[in-house]
């Protein structure tokens, strides 16, 4: 094959350029090493930039090209699947190719390049300026330096002198990459199964133990520190290593989830789990496999099935990715994956130090790690042959990336990635996203259901061993209108007050949940539950305290607030929000003995690590937890038996088509926190609109009922999954200018839709965004609705000031 002479490189250019490719020459010394999709350093103006090879060819462009500077070391090449996925991200999320490609590069690579100045040794032909002379002398004396180092040494700016010295060939720029710092690693042992067992008796026994361990744990490696636990002598094991019967594998410590209590073993499945497992296992035999939704109530044992699936994937010699929502990194799922597959599991997350992150990445790249656990960004790690992708709590909003672009949804990316690798995709949730459930209902996903919590084994009357049925907690809905009419003011109904009192008396813990979203903007009548809605759009009006106005975020209708309820005529309309602090005070007043822990964003931002808060709860230093959404998810609080939702309506009446869904999910998930270990769990939901379907369904933990009503609502109003949305937001210092810019954009979009005969496309707005001002800037929003929406938006040059969000998970 002839050698490539030119390379088209994708790199970060000016914003707005969607396919930023530049052509460079391939120097002779790189011609047989440079590869397609490889990370390289290229010159751009007077800098060295990171880029990725998009194509290699021999067509000389019509202009002079500069040569590629060098390859990124250690060499890094995107897999063809990764490249295909990047192309797909450009189409689907309307990001730039560079934004998509950059997702796959090792962490903070661009920051690791340093440009050194080095004398070429050429003899100067003309006269040197004094500054050039001093610079050359300095470099001759001290060896290559960065520009900053040289400037510091000479105490002056060198930009002009350097430019001249480079252009006359006296000094060259030499990009180097700062090496990764060493990280602490942990050693693991892997038996070589193809070799003959040792003849020495002690070694034979040791080898046998290591081999058996390996096989019983689905090929997981034995941590060296477990040797003494298994009664193995380090010296004997060392002999096995020397003879090549056992291999030592090193993995970076920072990326290893800490395994508490040692390795764990597969559980015996319940009949229901067994059935779900058959469905999952059969997918591994299909080519291509169909994606699968594991829809199981909280505590039904979904994790055990994830673990089985990972084991199956590893047995087939392939690798697995397990996604958890950002907030759940400290939870049980991570622990259990690590405990089941020690030595093969790494954790990638933003909390790792840079050196740890690079080392984890390198371990994956070298093929040492076969199970990668992490938040959505774990989809972009350099695994060669992905056999399984698990998404736990697939309905979580944390799976959608907002900033920076690409604004992708991990579920959609995982589905595409699974297709490219012909991998099994396993989505798990107790409250699947309505769009996921719809995909399942229309046959795009296979569904396995778990309807029961796994109870403990007990001995029955006739001495037989059976599994006790663990009930879901009892849910009581309190109609706050009645409380109000009966003159019970205050935040807690009588039922909630009594429930708290009873739990405290039994020495159990109470969780009180405040839905922060919407708590400051909902206008509701305390007497009849009436919610102020827009007469034109039927969308709840939002109260903006700073302007003392009610605004419709669909049509921009604005009204002055009143205090009299238009439905019942009583002066009970309230503009309020019960924040966590008010609830905390109320608990302290009513139950002075109780130890209260407030757990919200403010507390966490003041430097309280969620893990230390969790420890305080687990050590029983707390009686009542007053928290926001943050605590509702993922955590397992064994001593919590009673959960109170102080005002369930706040989340429902937000101007977002997903408001009811999010409320249903939150109520169901939080109810799942109650009584996971102790019987008699009780959930009290306080509401002014107990007839709302999200609350009715959540109180019965009836997903199917919720789904039916919600789907009808979505269809009636033309929302996903029936019609696709693209959201465009612009920010402006001046409110009117922002409005005009949005109107102009709306007009252009409408014109483009006509031009492309995209008949189903509508442009809604402009309207003020729900967060109508942010950091002093006014936000205006447009919605493009219809299957062809993304195509229409893509056909218009959208300048950098606009945020474009395809398939937004929130309109707030």
Q: How far is the CB of 326 from ligand ADP (least distance, A)?
A: 17
Residue (300 or 345) nearer to ligand ADP, CB: 300
- 143-182: contacts with ligand ADP (CB under 6 A): none
Rg (CA), the chain: 31
For CA atoms 400, 372, 358, 37, give the dihedral sign.
Answer: negative
Q: Assess 787 for contact with ligand ADP (CB under 6 A).
A: no
Residue (125 or 260) nearer to ligand ADP, CB: 260
Residue (306 or 653) nearer to ligand ADP, CB: 306
Contact 41, 72 (CB under 8 A): yes
Parallel, antiparallel or unpaired: strands 246-252 and 386-392? unpaired
Q: DSSP secondary structure string, 741-808?
A: HHHHHHHHHHHHHHHTT-TT-EEEEEEEEEEEEETTEEEEEEEEESTTHHHHHHTS---TTEEEEES-
d(CA 372, CA 251): 13
Contact 162, 110 (CB under 8 A): no
Nearest Cα neighbor of 93 from 721, 805, 786, 798 is 805
d(CA 297, CA 294): 10
Q: Assess 267 for contact with ligand ADP (CB under 6 A).
A: yes
Residue (470 or 499) nearer to ligand ADP, CB: 470
Is residue 300 exposed (0-12), middle (13-18) or buried (19+ Cβ within 10 Å)? buried
730 bridge partner residues: 780, 802
Residue with tokens 């944390």: 398
Largest CA distance in the chain: 105
- 555-594: contacts with Zn ion (CB under 5 A): 555, 557
Piece of the chain touching ligand ADP by CB under 6 A; list 140-148, 253-261, 291-299, 697-705: 291-299
Contact 328, 392 (CB under 8 A): yes
557 binds, among ligand ADP, Zn ion, none (CB under 5 to 8 A by kind): Zn ion
Q: How far is the CB of 541 from Zn ion (least distance, A)?
A: 8
Q: Assess 612 for contact with ligand ADP (CB under 6 A).
A: no
Residue (672 or 808) nearer to ligand ADP, CB: 672
Q: How far is the CB of 551 from Zn ion (least distance, A)?
A: 9
Q: Assess 230 for contact with Zn ion (CB under 5 A).
A: no
Identify the residue among 153, 177, 269, 412 touching ligand ADP (CB under 6 A): 269
Q: How far is the CB of 466 from ligand ADP (least distance, A)?
A: 12
d(CA 423, CA 388): 5
Q: How far is the CB of 573 from ligand ADP (least distance, A)?
A: 40
Q: Is the peptide bond before 404 cis (omega within 30 degrees of 0)?
A: yes
Q: Assess 270 for contact with ligand ADP (CB under 6 A).
A: yes
Identify the residue among 424, 537, 573, 583 touching Zn ion (CB under 5 A): 537
Secondary structure element (H or E) that encloses residue 373, with its range: strand 371-374
Residue with tokens 């309280």: 608
Q: Assess 536 for contact with Zn ion (CB under 5 A).
A: yes
Q: How far is the CB of 627 from ligand ADP (least distance, A)?
A: 19
Nearest Cα neighbor of 653 from 496, 525, 506 is 525
Q: Assess 534 for contact with Zn ion (CB under 5 A).
A: yes
For CA atoms 615, 620, 626, 630, give the dihedral sign.
Answer: positive
- 303-362: contacts with Zn ion (CB under 5 A): none
Residue (267 or 712) nearer to ligand ADP, CB: 267
Residue (397 or 555) nearer to Zn ion, CB: 555
Q: Please give the C-alpha separations between residue 297 and each of 316, 354, 432, in angstroms, as whole numbers.
A: 30, 38, 10
Secondary structure element (H or E) that encloses residue 208, with its range: helix 201-216
Parallel, antiparallel or unpaired: strands 246-252 and 185-191? antiparallel
Residue (556 or 709) nearer to Zn ion, CB: 556
Residue (537 or 758) nearer to Zn ion, CB: 537
- 443-462: contacts with ligand ADP (CB under 6 A): 454
Nearest Cα neighbor of 238 from 189, 186, 185 is 189
d(CA 245, CA 207): 8
552 binds, among ligand ADP, Zn ion, none (CB under 5 to 8 A by kind): Zn ion
Parallel, antiparallel or unpaired: strands 523-525 and 573-575? antiparallel
Q: Assess 95 for contact with ligand ADP (CB under 6 A).
A: no
Residue (105 or 292) nearer to ligand ADP, CB: 292
Neighbours of 101 (CB within 10 A): 26
Residue (113 or 324) nearer to ligand ADP, CB: 324
Piece of the chain touching ligand ADP by CB under 6 A; list 100-108, 189-197, 269-277, 659-667: 269-277
Piece of the chain touching ligand ADP by CB under 6 A; list 264-272, 285-293, 487-495, 738-746: 264-272
Q: Assess 777 for contact with ligand ADP (CB under 6 A).
A: no
128 binds, among Zn ion, ligand ADP, none (CB under 5 to 8 A by kind): none
99 binds, among ligand ADP, Zn ion, none (CB under 5 to 8 A by kind): none
Residue (172 or 264) nearer to ligand ADP, CB: 264
536 binds, among ligand ADP, Zn ion, none (CB under 5 to 8 A by kind): Zn ion
Identify the residue among 308, 349, 554, 692 touching Zn ion (CB under 5 A): 554
Residue (269 or 555) nearer to Zn ion, CB: 555
Contact 295, 304 (CB under 8 A): no
Identify the residue among 70, 255, 296, 765 touching ligand ADP (CB under 6 A): 296
Q: How far is the CB of 771 from Zn ion (least distance, A)?
A: 18
Using CB positions, name the residue nearest to ligand ADP.
301
Q: How far is the CB of 297 from ligand ADP (least distance, A)?
A: 7
Q: How far is the CB of 378 from ligand ADP (least distance, A)?
A: 19
Q: Annotate each residue in 299-318 with x if it binds ligand ADP (CB under 6 A) or - if it does not, as one string.
A: xxxxxx--------------
Is residue 449 exposed (0-12), middle (13-18) or buried (19+ Cβ within 10 Å)? middle
Q: How far is the CB of 369 from ligand ADP (least distance, A)?
A: 23
Parallel, antiparallel or unpaired: strands 6-11 and 47-57? antiparallel
Q: Assess 345 for contact with ligand ADP (CB under 6 A).
A: no
| Token pair belonging to 255 | 């990326």
Q: Assess 298 for contact with ligand ADP (CB under 6 A).
A: yes
Q: How far is the CB of 176 from Zn ion (least distance, A)?
A: 60
554 binds, among Zn ion, ligand ADP, none (CB under 5 to 8 A by kind): Zn ion
Contact 41, 113 (CB under 8 A): yes
Q: How many residues bind ligand ADP (CB under 6 A)?
A: 15
Helices and strands (H, E) in the chain, number of each type = 24, 35
d(CA 596, CA 590): 12
Q: Assess 38 for contact with ligand ADP (CB under 6 A).
A: no
Cα 191 to chain centroid distance, Å, stands at 36
- 315-344: contacts with ligand ADP (CB under 6 A): 332
φ and ψ at residue 174, rounded to 5 degrees:
-125, 105
d(CA 97, CA 21): 9
Neighbours of 211 (CB within 10 A): 18
Q: Assess 128 for contact with Zn ion (CB under 5 A).
A: no
Q: Assess 431 for contact with ligand ADP (CB under 6 A).
A: no
537 binds, among Zn ion, ligand ADP, none (CB under 5 to 8 A by kind): Zn ion
Neighbours of 677 (CB within 10 A): 14
Site residues (vs ligand ADP, CB under 6 A): 267-270, 273, 296, 298-304, 332, 454
Q: Using CB under 5 A, list all residues that contact Zn ion.
A: 534, 536-537, 552, 554-555, 557
């Amino acid at each position: 094959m002839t050698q490539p002479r030119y390379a088209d490189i994708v790199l970060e250019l000016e914003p707005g350029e969607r396919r930023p490719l530049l052509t460079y020459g391939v120097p002779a010394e790189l011609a047989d090493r440079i590869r397609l999709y490889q990370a390289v350093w290229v010159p751009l103006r007077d800098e060295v930039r990171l880029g990725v090879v998009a194509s290699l060819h021999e067509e000389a462009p019509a202009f002079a090209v500069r040569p590629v500077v060098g390859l990124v070391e250690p060499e890094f090449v995107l897999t063809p699947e990764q490249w295909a996925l990047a192309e797909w991200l450009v189409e689907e999320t309307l990001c730039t190719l560079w934004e998509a490609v950059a997702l796959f590069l090792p962490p903070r690579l661009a920051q690791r390049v340093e440009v050194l100045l080095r004398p070429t040794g050429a003899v100067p032909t003309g006269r040197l300026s004094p500054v050039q002379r001093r610079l050359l002398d300095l470099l001759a004396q001290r060896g290559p330096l960065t520009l900053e180092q040289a400037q510091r040494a000479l105490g002056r700016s060198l930009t002009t002198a350097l430019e001249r010295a480079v252009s006359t060939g006296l000094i060259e720029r030499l990009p180097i990459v700062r090496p990764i710092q060493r990280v602490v690693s942990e050693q693991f042992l892997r038996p070589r199964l193809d070799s003959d067992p040792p003849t020495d008796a002690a070694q034979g026994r040791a080898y046998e133990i290591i081999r058996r361990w390996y096989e019983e744990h689905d090929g997981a490696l034995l941590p060296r520190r477990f040797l003494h636990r298994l009664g193995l002598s380090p010296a004997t094991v060392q002999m096995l290593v020397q003879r090549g019967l056992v291999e030592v594998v090193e993995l970076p410590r920072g990326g290893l989830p800490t395994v508490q209590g040692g390795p764990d073993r597969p559980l015996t499945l319940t009949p229901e789990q067994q059935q779900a497992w058959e469905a999952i296992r059969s997918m591994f035999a299909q080519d291509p496999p169909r994606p699968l939704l594991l829809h199981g109530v909280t505590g039904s044992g979904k994790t055990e099935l994830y673990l089985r699936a990972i084991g199956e994937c590893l047995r087939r010699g392939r690798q697995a990715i397990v996604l958890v929502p950002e907030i759940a990194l400290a939870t049980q799922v991570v622990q259990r994956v690590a405990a089941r597959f020690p030595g093969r599991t790494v954790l990638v997350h933003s909390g790792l130090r840079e050196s740890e992150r690079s080392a984890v990445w390198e371990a994956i790249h070298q093929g040492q790690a076969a199970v990668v656990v992490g938040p959505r960004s774990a989809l972009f790690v350099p695994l060669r042959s992905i056999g399984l992708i698990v998404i736990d709590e697939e309905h979580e909003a944390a799976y959608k990336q907002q900033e920076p672009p690409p604004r992708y949804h991990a579920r959609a990316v995982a589905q595409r990635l699974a297709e490219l690798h012909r991998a099994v995709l396993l989505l798990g949730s107790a409250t699947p996203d309505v769009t996921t459930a719809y995909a399942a209902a229309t046959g795009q996903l296979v569904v396995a259901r778990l309807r029961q919590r796994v109870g403990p084994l007990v001995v029955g009357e006739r001495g037989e061993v059976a599994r006790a049925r663990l009930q879901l907690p009892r849910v009581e809905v309190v109609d706050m209108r009645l409380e109000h009419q009966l003159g019970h003011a205050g935040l807690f109904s009588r039922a909630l007050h009594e429930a708290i009192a009873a739990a405290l008396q039994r020495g159990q813990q109470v969780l009180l949940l405040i839905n922060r979203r919407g708590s400051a903007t909902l206008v509701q009548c305390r007497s009849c539950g009436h919610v102020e809605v827009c007469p034109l759009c039927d969308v709840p009006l939002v109260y903006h305290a700073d302007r003392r106005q009610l605004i419709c975020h669909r049509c921009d209708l604005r009204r002055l607030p009143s205090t009299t309820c238009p439905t019942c005529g009583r002066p009970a309309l309230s503009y309020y929000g019960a924040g966590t602090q008010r609830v905390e005070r109320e608990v302290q007043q009513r139950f002075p003995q109780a130890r209260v822990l407030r757990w919200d964003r403010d507390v966490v931002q003041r430097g309280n690590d969620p893990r230390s808060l969790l420890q305080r709860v687990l050590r029983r230093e707390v009686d009542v937890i007053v928290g926001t959404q943050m605590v509702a998810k993922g955590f397992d609080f064994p001593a919590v038996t009673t959960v109170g939702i102080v005002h369930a309506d706040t989340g429902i009446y937000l101007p977002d088509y997903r408001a009811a869904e999010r409320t249903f999910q939150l109520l169901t998930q939080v109810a799942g926190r109650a009584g996971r270990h102790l019987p008699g769990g009780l959930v009290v939901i306080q509401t002014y609109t107990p007839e709302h379907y999200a609350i009715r369904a959540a109180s019965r933990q009836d997903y199917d009922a919720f789904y039916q009503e919600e789907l009808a609502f979505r269809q009636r109003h033309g929302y996903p999954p029936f019609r696709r949305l693209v959201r465009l937001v612009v920010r402006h210092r001046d409110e009117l200018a922002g409005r005009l810019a949005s109107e102009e954009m709306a007009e252009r979009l409408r014109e483009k839709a006509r031009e492309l005969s995209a008949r189903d496309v509508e442009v809604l707005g402009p309207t003020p965004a729900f967060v109508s001002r942010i950091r002093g800037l006014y936000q205006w929003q447009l919605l493009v609705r219809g299957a062809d929406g993304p195509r229409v938006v893509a056909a218009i040059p959208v300048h950098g000031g606009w945020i474009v969000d395809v398939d937004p998970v929130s309109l707030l």
